[in-house]
A and B are shown apart, each in its own frame.
Chain A
Amino acid sequence: MAERITGAEALIRALEHENVELIFGYPGGCILPAYDPLMESSIRHILVRHEQGAGHMAEGYAHVSGKPGVAMVTSGPAATNLVTPLMDAYMDSIPMVAITGQVPVAAIGSDAFQECDTVGITRSCTKHNELVMTADDIPMAIRQAFHIATTGRPGPTLVDLPKDCLQNEMTWHWPTDEDVLASLPGYRPNVKGHPRMIKEAARLILTSERPIIYAGGGILKARAADALRELAELIDSYVVTTLMARGAFPDSHPLCLGMPGMHGNATAVTSMQKSDLLIALGSRFDDRITGKVDAFAPDAKIIHVDIDPAEQGKVRRPDVPIVGDAKYVIEEIIKEIKTLLESGTVQADTSAWKSRVSGWREQFPMTYEQSAPGEALKPQFVIEELSKLAPEHTIVASGVGQHQMYASQFFEFNEPYTWLNSGGLGTMGFSIPAAIGAKAARPDTTVWAVDGDGCFQMTAQELVTATIDELPIKVALLNNSHLGMVKQWQEMFYDERYSETSLHEKVPDFVKWAESMGCVGILVESPEEVAPAIEKANSINDRSVVIEFRTDAAEKVFPMVPAGQSNEALILHPTQEDTSGALK
């Protein structure tokens, strides 16, 4: 007998069928019907303090767990508040499903209370979105949203649900996989790379004398960290891990060169630049990596593995384009290489290249100058201590700015899915909600948010959510009372004219603010206090902890490739500048 239930019940049941365990959300007028059956559901709901927080939590949850994050909010302003995390997830290819309420079908287009054109607004910041027009369509819309968000190049999807669709009755049905595929005739992601291209890649790799593996965020999306390691060890090639791929290859591994790009270390940047073969795996030749495109890695042939065909040739024309899932393709390339080696092909001699690169690595380590007694803390020192004292499997989420770069540069990442940040969109305020989402996915793991004082003031209210919903995180707040990265650019490129980059040294009182949200607040001003404060924070597991580190506002992120310039124009740390000739 066909079961008649409301659209709202169908929505919640559909989410349960999709194995959703957690929803980050905020109720309101048009989505209200969905919140009623939620009370009987097995799904846990985390009540956020701002819809943007719901979106970033869903992202953090998704990145760490590998499952799609779900955010559910009402219409109008709630939907527009979700735009930033949707765009963030789109840029960083994070699987996320957003459910938004909408005014009743009959009221659409009438400028009704809390009406906005959600699908219109979010069209360019979702992989796909859909406005549902009848309750009967809800199960299929949800199935499609999860299918599209999690397959191919992952990304955010959105289902917009008019209130009457949630209230009306429908006959429950659950579409089969075949139904979903038949409903999406234009969507068939290509997982398996072209066999001929895979063979060509293997051949090219064995002829290269100066190979570099350029590992991007796609390694993590494809769960390909093990395959990457096997490939690197098989061909004995150095690996650079982009900002989105930190942890995809262990920093402690002798073949790891760390982060390339605008603030990458000198060895990673230069080795890409001088390479004769870039093996790009799930990376997209972002402008922060290439610098001036025409001058990027001029001698390098390119093998480009990406599941999104549009990434092939978007920035740099590959010699060997392979459209497919990174894990599948890497494993196939490994097989081909082994076959070639077994049949007598000899890999080109890379020893000269290897010693050249290791020479750079010895000569140009990441560096900074320790603060003199009585001076403000060096942010790099704080990150180094945080890294040294981190319990096993610690997850780090960062905001955007100098602290993000310090965290990526000075924290040692040895496991995949332990680093979250807003790489593509550069969303300030990402860290705290993303850390909470990560904590929800890994309740037994220590989660640190590395934040700046600018970022903290954008989304700190979610620490209330962390307290109430018992998702305790730790925040390392690097407070230099400035918008540090913007200030750095003003110093270097705007004649030290500091326009609107000074926040305030006394206001807000971060410790009191933290305490008012139910967190432990700690102020740290001198180097000897750093380790004890971190140890104390690591030992507190029943509450969130905010440590405010007063850091040096004059400190700048190095190395740096000025925007739009060639990677050859890398500016080293001032203490290394006079030796930069060794990189040529």
Chain B
Amino acid sequence: MSVDQHESQPLNHHILSVLVQNRPGVLARVAGLFARRGYNIFSLAVAPAETEGRSRITIVVDLQSAPLEQITKQLFKLIDVIKISELDPRRSVERELLICTVKADEDRRGRVIELINIFEGKILAVAELVVTVSLEGHPDKLDDFEDLLDGYGIVELQRTGRVALPKLERGARVRAVNKFQTPSSTSTKTGKAG
């Protein structure tokens, strides 16, 4: 099984792709809502979206803390939240970036580099006893990579948290390319909160 084929998800996690107005404090509103209602965030990534003045926040939520429906509805009550898409892991593409400084003295450097090559990672910097490496891919692939690096001794590690978009269906892929349109997502049909 290739490292790219992972489709499994951490237990009880779900991905929300939240389109928001990019206004001061919007991230604080979202994070504050999770804190106030006792919902757990597993990871969170935020950056400007395709339309000016909009940002997309990708939140991986821990469903042990609350049902997804309540989390979604409460999020939707925030005035700055425009659209929420619940991404089914089986029907979405997910990516994450990891950078890591790992111990790699002369004896082990070859094996570390071999590992990096297997995973198609990039070496960003090399020092006498350590190398800094980056890897982009499915979060599960990053998990495996991290586990293996740990065997050599991780000095510092940073992951971005995952970003995700709906996977294009075979037909939709062609249509989307032809019409240059955004694909339909599994967005919630819930009415806007009052």
B20 touches A186 (CB 8 A): yes
Using CB atoms and an 8 Å cutoff, list the residues of chain A in contact with chain B. 119-120, 123-124, 127-128, 131, 148, 151-153, 184-190, 307-310, 312-314, 323
* 14 more CB-based (< 8 A) A-B contacts, given A152-B193, A314-B70, A323-B191: A119-B25, A123-B28, A151-B194, A152-B192, A153-B193, A186-B79, A186-B81, A187-B192, A189-B191, A189-B194, A190-B192, A190-B194, A308-B194, A312-B73
**Which of B21, B25, B77 is close to A308, meaning CB atoms less than 8 Å apart?**
B77
Residue numbers in B under 8 Å from A313 (CB-CB): 69-70
* Range for the number of chain B residues in contact with chain A: 20 to 34
Residue B24, interface by CB 8 Å: yes
A152 touches B32 (CB 8 A): no
Minimum CB distance partner of A306 in chain B: B194
Given the interface pairs A131-B24, A186-B78, A314-B70, the reply to whether A309 lies near B32 with Cβ below 8 Å is no
Give the docked Cα–Cα distance between A151 and B194 (Å).
7
A188 touches B76 (CB 8 A): no
Minimum CB distance partner of A157 in chain B: B79
Residue B36, interface by CB 8 Å: yes
Contact with A along B31-71 (1 / 0, CB 8 A): 01100100000000000000000000000000000000110
Minimum CB distance partner of A188 in chain B: B192
Residue numbers in B under 8 Å from A185 (CB-CB): 21, 82
Given the interface pairs A124-B36, A131-B24, the reply to whether A307 lies near B194 with Cβ below 8 Å is yes
Residue numbers in A under 8 Å from B96 (CB-CB): none
Residue B184, interface by CB 8 Å: no
Residue from the set B33, B79, B191, B194 with the largest chain A CB neighbour count within 10 Å: B194
Minimum CB distance partner of A192 in chain B: B191
Residue numbers in B under 8 Å from A184 (CB-CB): 79
CB distance from B19 to the nearest CB of A (A): 8
Give the docked Cα–Cα distance between A127 and B194 (Å).
9
Residue B80, interface by CB 8 Å: yes
B79 touches A310 (CB 8 A): no
Give the docked Cα–Cα distance between A186 and B194 (Å).
11
Residue numbers in B under 8 Å from A309 (CB-CB): 73, 76, 190-194
Minimum CB distance partner of A191 in chain B: B194
Residue numbers in B under 8 Å from A148 (CB-CB): 79
Contact with A along B140-152 (1 / 0, CB 8 A): 0000000000000
B25 touches A189 (CB 8 A): no
B74 touches A310 (CB 8 A): yes
A186 touches B192 (CB 8 A): yes
Given the interface pairs A186-B78, A313-B70, the reply to whether A120 lies near B28 with Cβ below 8 Å is yes
Looking at chain A's contact residues, the main secondary structure is loop
Could you jot down 10 A-B contacts, CB within 8 Å?
A: A119-B25, A123-B28, A128-B79, A186-B79, A188-B192, A189-B193, A307-B194, A309-B190, A310-B70, A310-B73
Residue numbers in B under 8 Å from A312 (CB-CB): 73
Residue numbers in B under 8 Å from A188 (CB-CB): 192
Give the docked Cα–Cα distance between A314 and B72 (Å).
12
- Would you list which residues of chain B between 121 and 172 have a CB under 8 Å from chain A? none
Residue numbers in A under 8 Å from B80 (CB-CB): 186
Give the docked Cα–Cα distance between A151 and B77 (Å).
13
Residue numbers in B under 8 Å from A153 (CB-CB): 193-194
CB distance from B28 to the nearest CB of A (A): 7
Minimum CB distance partner of B33 in chain A: A124
B191 touches A190 (CB 8 A): yes
Residue numbers in A under 8 Å from B79 (CB-CB): 127-128, 148, 184, 186-187
Minimum CB distance partner of B35 in chain A: A124
Give the docked Cα–Cα distance between A474 and B78 (Å).
40
Residue from the set A128, A310, A323 with the largest chain B CB neighbour count within 10 Å: A310
CB distance from A67 to the nearest CB of B (A): 18
Residue B95, interface by CB 8 Å: no
Give the docked Cα–Cα distance between A116 and B73 (Å).
30
Residue numbers in B under 8 Å from A190 (CB-CB): 191-192, 194
Minimum CB distance partner of B81 in chain A: A186
Residue from the set B20, B28, B77 with the largest chain A CB neighbour count within 10 Å: B77
Residue B29, interface by CB 8 Å: yes
Give the docked Cα–Cα distance between A308 and B77 (Å).
8
A123 touches B191 (CB 8 A): no
Cβ-closest 4 pairs across A and B: A152-B194, A190-B191, A153-B194, A310-B73
Given the interface pairs A123-B32, A128-B79, A309-B190, the reply to whether A186 lies near B73 with Cβ below 8 Å is no
Give the docked Cα–Cα distance between A307 and B73 (Å).
12
Residue numbers in A under 8 Å from B28 (CB-CB): 120, 123
Given the interface pairs A148-B79, A186-B81, the reply to whether A310 lies near B25 with Cβ below 8 Å is no
CB distance from B141 to the nearest CB of A (A): 34
Minimum CB distance partner of B79 in chain A: A128
